[in-house]
Structure 1
Amino acid sequence: MSTSLRAQVAVVRQAGGPFHVEQADVAAPRGDEVRVRMVATGMCHTDLVARDGFPVPLPIVLGHEGAGVVESVGPQVKRVRPGDHVVLSFNSCGSCPSCAQQAPAHCYQFMPLNFGGLRAPDNSSPMTQEGRILHGYFFGQSSFASYAVAREINTVVVDRDLPLELLGPLGCGLQTGAGAVMNSIALRAGQSLAVFGAGAVGLAGVMAAKALGASQIVVVEPNAGRRELAQRLGATLTIDPKASADVLAELRERSGGGVNHAFDTTGIPGVIAVAVETMLPGGVLGLVGVSPMDAMLPANIMSLISRGVTIKAILEGDADPQTFIPQLLKLYREGRFPFDQLIGKFAFSQINEAAKASEDGSVIKPVLVF
């Protein structure tokens, strides 16, 4: 019978504090769970937001873009086997009306299952230190750990010839950006798109738009290096908002009057106000950025009605990871989703350095390697 394993884990003990690399015990999987030996895990903006005060219980092990090899499985697991190479994604209940319609990103229990840090319904944790609970079920995985317990529902089996060290970010950030364009906005070939913010999520949207055959891809981004990378990945036009006297006027002029759709990854109300006005009639604005808790939509209602535009709030790219991650991997194999160009690798012991690189913009998508 499988027993607990000792693991290295990165613990957040106080809001705004650093990650502490420590030892913890990771329990054997039960029920529909799988225990995974982590090979690598992406660092997402959501991890940093949670570290810095977004309401999660403490102490907690964050991380929700894990990739690794299955070590053992619980008795109810049917699809995943020990030795499988896997990518871990977000948690969902599997039984609510949304989940029943293959829309797990809209699971009725999304917030408690992903941000509660504990199993449902018994509020236990697979991670402990000297018998004391660590909140070790963030997004149903807590992958800032050399071993982690996830559920079969958020474990995606991938081909063994793929570079497992690179695949973790597909579980959240890249899935969110690509899914926003492909699923939520439902961009069609020949349409145009404006992307505000060229971080990992925004650039995933750029790659998805190119793969779909967009006629024009506009990227608004203040970082020169990211604007250059956006152009290499498919952007046809870039705008530096710091150098522009009027971003909306410049975008309209240089794009030929506006774009069909827009995608905001910044969460900044003033940027969203511009994005709303860039769209031609019938457009969809996708929102994925983390805004201030008291932020309101800065939009003129009659302008929206007169153009028939839609504002779409997006979680996890409206994706079902079990089908969408393989779809992205197919595009990657075809050379049409080169997400490896976004990744910078760090040893797990350098987790605080990776966080700093993410925050100062020197690395687009840090990946911690065990």
Structure 2
Amino acid sequence: MDITAAITRGKGEPFEITTLQLDDLRPTEVRVKIVATGVCHTDAIIRDQVYPTPLPAVLGHEGAGVVEEVGSAVRSVKPGDKVVLGFNSCGACRQCLAGRPSYCVEMYDRNFAGTRPDGSTALRDGDTSVSSHFFGQSSFATHVNAAERSVVKVDDDAPLELLGPLGCGLMTGAGAIINSMAVRAGESVAIFGTGAVGSAATMAAAAIGATTIVAIDLVDSRLEAAREFGATHTINSGSEDLAARVEEITGGEGFRVALDTTGITAVTRQAADSVGINGRVGLVGAPTPGDEVSFEVGSSLMKGWSFRTIIEGDAVPQQFIPALVHLWRQGKFPIEKLTQTYPLASINQAFEDSKSGQTIKPIITF
């Protein structure tokens, strides 16, 4: 069938709106009519080939829509169901079976390779193959043949125009706090970077009862917004003395948890330096492959602190996305404060506004 999609033809080139051909469903796939899809930093770094997905490609990995058709082996959803689309995984490796699908041994192939596991692509531009199945979906398109493992059913009254970002960015931020770092009520939390992932982390920390939540960024408007999301303190690390402010806010004890959402190695080091005894440091940003961080391990040895990298907030999407919808219904995860919608024709503007910080989480609507 013919579909309309935003295609990425070459490294760093603007997205182009065009007509492509979508092939027939495979037995384990679900055809979804996309209602809306989030714009994520990961889409930008793939467009710019920081991580290599074959081009031309249709990107997009925070889709939300309505099921139109299901493959013969699909059992989790049916036509007419509302769904949010998340990342893909094999479902059979040791990590998947242990409830850690974001560390699936086939994570790269099933999310970044641009093909199905058998090497086929669902999209064509005339005689030219186009990379598909980005995160099992490629949702910068009116319709997708999504992998069933990427599909999460949500309530019939769920606002699809709002919920797509739960499939990656917002799930990552919230999951990093709730799942990965296991933040407990009463703990202090520092969140470095107040974009979509950092904002979701701030909301999650407030929802579970962290008492001191410090948002750290260079953009004052984002820091002001962070207070609306639950931050108790803010620090502009470009104009304030970060170490002095950390000492002031924590009474010299350092934070219990520090989360770096920027992927900038110098910031990761700052996050590590900000925690106290038995502090926990997490990284959810996307550094360039080969980047390294230098940690002080002499004096800090006595702190017994820990560091870990985090993928997709250690979430099982089919369990965690409905939980986030529940928090949204309770008013504890106010996604609507982060988002601004753009028509598909304005997708390049959406990416520019995300990069500049004008919009925290752009959503493309169809």
Same fold (TM over 0.5): yes
Partner of residue 188 from structure 1, selected from 151, 175, 184: 184
Q: What code does the residue aligned with 1:250 have?
A: R
In the alignment, structure 1 segments of 5+ residues that lack a partner are none
| CA-CA distance at 1:28 after TM superposition | 2.3
* 3-state SS of 1:50 partner: helix
Where in structure 2 are the equivalents of 1:32-71 lying within 5 Å? 32-54=28-50, 55-71=52-68
Aligned counterpart in structure 2 of residue 240 of structure 1, from 219, 236, 242 = 236
Q: 1:303 to 1:11 in 2, by over 3 A?
A: farther
Note the alpha carbon deviations across 1:24-44, whole angstroms, 9 max, x for none.
111221111001000000000
Alignment of 1:102-141 (within 5 A): 102-120=99-117, 122-141=118-137
2:226 paired residue number: 230
1:81 aligned residue: 78
- Deviation beyond 6 Å, 4+ runs, structure 1: none
Letter in 2 for 1:113: R
* Aligned pairs (5 A) from 1:190-269: 190-244=186-240, 246-257=241-252, 258-269=254-265
Superposition deviation, residue 131 in structure 1: 3.7
- Cα deviations across residues 50-72 of structure 1 (Å, max 9, x unaligned)? 00112110111000000000110
Partner Cα separation in structure 2 for residue 42 and residue 30 of structure 1: 25
With normalisation by structure 2, the TM-score equals: 0.98
CA gap of 1:320–1:303, structure 2 versus 1, over 3 A, is farther
CA distance in 2, matches of 1:238, 1:100: 40
Q: Which amino acid letter does the alignment assign opposite residue 176 of structure 1?
A: T
What SS does the corresponding residue of 1:10 show, helix, strand or coil?
strand
* CA RMSD, Structure 1 to Structure 2 (Å): 1.0
1:303 shift after superposition:
4.1
What's the % identity of the aligned pairs? 46
Q: Are 1:273 and 2:272 counterparts? A: no
Hey, what's the Cα distance between the residues in 1 that align with 2:298 and 2:91? 39
Cα deviation for residue 302 of structure 1 reads 2.7
- 8 A Cα contact 1:185 1:261, kept in partner: yes
Superposition pairs of residues 290-301 of structure 1, within 5 angstroms:
290-301=286-297
- Alpha-carbon distance in 1 for matches of 2:60, 2:93: 25
Partner of 1:22, secondary structure, is strand
- Counterpart for residue 320 of structure 1: 316
Deviation track 1:254-273 (CA, whole Å, cap 9, x = no partner) reads 23222111000111121111
The reply on whether 1:164 has 2:180 as its aligned counterpart is no
Match of 1:347 in 2: 343
Q: Secondary structure at the match of 2:165?
A: helix
Between the aligned partners of 1:331 and 1:43, the Cα distance in structure 2 is: 22
Q: State the shift of 1:304 in Å.
A: 4.3
Q: Structure 2: how far apart are the matches of 1:102 and 1:88? A: 18
State the one-letter code of the partner of 1:144.
F
Q: Distance in 1 between matches of 2:71 and 2:301?
A: 52
